[in-house]
């Protein structure tokens, strides 16, 4: 008698067919990329509008959904402290822009919606490998530890040194989907010490439930006593939506991406033209109902 309503309530907890649940594709939800060499600063040609096309130690990988929806995945890698400032860059697929809502917008503005279904997001964390609680390639962890004070009260100790800025420069935040993320770690007095970086999955693209991303580590300057990050935007790493080269079950459905990213990096006029010619790839064009 009592069990029927209880069962009815429990049915509400079934998430198997949840439309918001990513599809389990066979692409691993946790991966480790091994040790990345720190790329020399002189490979960054323009400090204020940098791009990186060298082969250096940029790695591409992909992340899928876990079988257990309660588990969070991510990609980890290591680098060795140089004694200087090291900048970590991670670019998740794909590109992100905001359609211009101004009724007077012209071709120099974004006239198409971003296709949000192909965008994923991962958040950067990093610090000394000794503090990392995860098992690389098996399960992700954190850079936190617990301190129990003399009264028996637990407090969290934070060892994350990778402090990213949000979209628009918001301090101590992570930019959103499709947008590259960067942080700088000062490795002074820690030459030869190993650091771990974690790109923790925040969201998988809706279209294929597989998040492609690119990562790299670079030397950067120290001025006036603090590390200076170079500017990173969508065009720093190219073709991050390519399928991971080592992960099994790679998807090959991003053939359009290099052309779209080229158009994006050329500016709104080229992107508008690309979207006009490829209506299935971008979002809807502006209409009078858009604003």
Partner 1 sequence: MLSALLVILGGCWQENLPQVDIQGKVVLPRSAATRDIPVLDANGDLTYDVDGNVITEEWTDPRLIGPVYLGAYSAIDTVSFDFPHPKMGPIITADVPGDTFPYGGTTVGRIDFACYEALRCKVSTGRFTDYAAILEYFKKIGTPVVDYRGNTVDSASTFQQYCYDYFYYTSDAEISFIGDLDFTERDDGDFEAEYYMAQVTFVPGMSLWGFMDAPDILATQPEEEGTFDTCYLEYGGRSVTDYDQSYYEGGPYNDILNFPATYVQEHDFVAEGVVIDSPDETPEIVLSFEVEE
Binding site residues, partner 1, CB under 8 A: 147, 149-151, 153, 155, 157, 159
138 vs 151, which CB is nearer to partner 1?
151
Q: How far is the CB of 155 from partner 1 (least distance, A)?
A: 4
Smaller CB distance to partner 1: residue 53 or 133? 133
113 SS3 class = coil
- Helix (H, G, I), strand (E, B), or coil: what is residue 288? coil
**Residue closer to partner 1 (CB basis): 103 or 152:** 152
Smallest gap from residue 157 Cβ to partner 1 (A): 7
Closest CB to partner 1 among 150 and 248?
150
Is 13 or 151 the residue whose CB approaches partner 1 more closely? 151
* CA separation, residue 8 to residues 5, 18, 74 (Å): 5, 17, 35
Q: How far is the CB of 167 from partner 1 (least distance, A)?
A: 24
Look-up of token digits 């004694």: 83
- CB of 204 within 8 A of CB of 120? yes
* C-beta closer to partner 1: residue 63 or 227: 227
Closer to partner 1 by Cβ: residue 20 or 147: 147
Q: How far is the CB of 191 from partner 1 (least distance, A)?
A: 16
108-145 in b/e form (b: 16+ CB < 10 A) is: ebbbbbbbeebbbbbbbbbbbbebbebebeeebbbbee
Q: Can you tell me whether residue 268 is helix, strand or coil? A: helix
Token pair 């992340």 is at which residue?
63
Which residues have a Cβ under 8 Å from the Cβ of 229 and sit 6 or more positions away?
Answer: 87, 182, 183, 184, 220
Per-residue HEC secondary structure of 43-102 comes to HCCCCCCCCCCCCCCCEEEEECCCCCCCCCCEEEEEEECCCCEEEEEEEECCCCCCCCCC
Closest distance to partner 1 from the beta carbon of 151 (Å): 4
Shortest distance in whole angstroms from residue 85 CB to partner 1: 17
* Least distance (Å) between residue 143 CB and partner 1: 12
Q: Are 204 and 63 in contact (CB under 8 A)?
A: yes
């Amino acid at each position: 008698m009592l069990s029927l309503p209880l069962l009815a309530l429990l049915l509400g907890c079934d998430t198997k067919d949840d439309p918001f649940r990513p599809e389990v594709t066979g692409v691993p939800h946790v991966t480790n990329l091994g040790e990345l060499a720190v790329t020399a600063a002189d490979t960054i040609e323009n400090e204020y509008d940098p791009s990186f096309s060298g082969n250096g130690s940029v790695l591409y990988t992909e992340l899928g959904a876990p079988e257990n929806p309660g588990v969070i995945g991510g990609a980890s890698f290591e680098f060795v402290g140089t004694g200087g400032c090291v900048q970590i860059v991670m670019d998740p697929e794909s590109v992100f822009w905001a359609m211009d809502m101004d009724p007077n917008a012209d071709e120099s503005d974004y006239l198409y919606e971003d296709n949000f279904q192909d965008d994923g997001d991962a958040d950067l964390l990093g610090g000394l490998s000794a503090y990392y609680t995860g098992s690389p390639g098996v399960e992700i962890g954190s850079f936190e530890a617990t301190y129990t004070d003399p009264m028996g009260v637990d407090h969290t100790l934070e060892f994350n040194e990778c402090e990213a800025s949000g979209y628009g420069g918001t301090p101590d935040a992570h930019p959103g989907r499709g947008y590259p993320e960067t942080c700088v770690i000062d490795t002074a007095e820690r030459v030869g010490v190993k650091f771990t970086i974690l790109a923790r999955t925040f969201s998988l693209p809706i279209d294929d439930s597989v998040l492609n991303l690119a990562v790299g580590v670079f030397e950067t300057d120290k001025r006036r006593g603090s590390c200076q990050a170079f500017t990173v935007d969508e065009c720093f790493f190219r073709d991050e939506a390519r399928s991971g080269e080592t992960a099994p079950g790679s998807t090959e459905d991003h053939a359009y991406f290099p052309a779209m990213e080229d158009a994006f990096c050329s500016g709104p006029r080229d992107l508008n033209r690309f979207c006009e010619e490829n209506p299935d790839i971008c979002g809807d064009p502006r209409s009078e109902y858009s604003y």
